[in-house]
Amino acid sequence: MEIGNTFRVPLGETRIERFAAAFTPEEWAAAFEKEAKDGRYHAVVERTIGGPFEYRYLGVRDSTGRLRVLQPVFLTDQDLLAGLPAGAQRLAGKVRKRFPRFLTQKMLMIGCTAGEGHAGLIGDPAESAGALFDALDIFGQQSGAGMVTFKDFPKPERTALDAPAAAHGYRRVPSFPGTVIADLGRFRDFDDYLDRTLSKATRKDLRRKFRRADTAEPPLHLEVVADASAQAKELHALYRQVWEKSEFRFEELTEEYFRALGREMPDVARFFVWRLGGPEGRAVAVSSVLVHDGRLHDNYLGLDYTLAHERHLYHVTLRDVFNWAVRHGVREYYSTPLNYDPKQRLRFALAPLDLYVKSLNRIVNPFLRHALPWLEPTRWDKDLRRFENWAEMQ
């Protein structure tokens, strides 16, 4: 597809751009003013996370020239069986030895490769959302994609998206949800959270782990910085250890991502870095977060697995980030998808994320709509059903 391709929809003119910078900071602010992942974040992702992703930006302007939709999208090859159990994956692997692209589809995805998506709607939400879906019908065909998927859109987006999605032939199914602890202002610190929220057995287990971690030698030293560019290589190596152990992988952060994020977004980005023995010691854990509008987004974790279990680094990082958030007036602690068992024990609530999916083949789409509940990833995760607000996923 030619960069800057232009076509019309009933609301006005649609233009497909290659770079986030094609839109002004004011336009990004109008479309994503409430989001931590603003235009600067999308520009960082576009520049630092390449691999299988082709980035585009869809803008719709009405007859007066006013921007009504600004939506990041990307093209990638997607394994349609990625969320199924290991047995089904092994069976598919055997078929793919003979047919390498078996149930692999070129997909136009709406949203962000490195995080949840948001509908960049400006003005009347219903009118702008309709224009977005009109534009995707055309751009999907022009891009050569076989499917269109809205990736990881938070539950509040349903108000604007559900009706036009259904009218355009999409089906909404659950994606792996985030998790959240709300109303942090109710708690003095993480210890107070333990006392008021968790069971006696869980409190006892966590305090035993913290005693071991806090009395071990050499001690852990925590620093919190906005710009981690000087430490990017070291922190990326820790992130890679966690990424390599993950059962489900999508994006892979690069060293340049760690270098650019704080440099481009110093008001929002924070890196929590734990070192052995002091500020000059070896880094053994990192948590990359965004803080915006009273919400802390705990996005990416890196751990040194030679010490992670012995020093209980996962729980130490969560405790320390929680305490920092309380001290800095954060109202809500949000953690990204996966690793649900410890989060359920810690009484996080689910923060539902949705997929809206459509095949661009009119014959295939009715069958796909019926198959999606069996293909969607959360169906096979038993830990999710233990959360008290599991029903909100549907």
Question: pLDDT per residue over 42-66, tens digit each?
Answer: 999 999 998 889 999 999 999 999 9
What value, to the nearest 5°, has the Cα angle with vertex 48 and ends 46 and 49?
A: 75
Q: Whole-model pTM?
A: 0.91
In this chain, the answer to whether the domains covering 6-176+353-393 and 183-330 adopt an identical fold is yes
Helix H or strand E segment including 271: strand 269-276
Question: pLDDT per residue over 170-223, tens digit each?
Answer: 999 999 999 999 999 999 999 999 999 999 999 999 999 999 999 999 999 999
Residue ranges of the domains in the chain? 6-176+353-393, 183-330
Class of 6-176+353-393 in CATH: alpha beta
Helix axes 255-264, 232-245, angle to 10 degrees: 120
Architecture of domain 183-330: 3-Layer(aba) Sandwich (3.40)
CA distance readout (Å), 288 to 20, 55, 194, 215, 291: 22, 23, 24, 25, 10
* Bridge partner list, 150: 110, 356
Question: pLDDT per residue over 260-283, tens digit each?
Answer: 999 999 999 999 999 999 999 999
Question: pLDDT per residue over 8-20, tens digit each?
Answer: 999 999 999 999 9
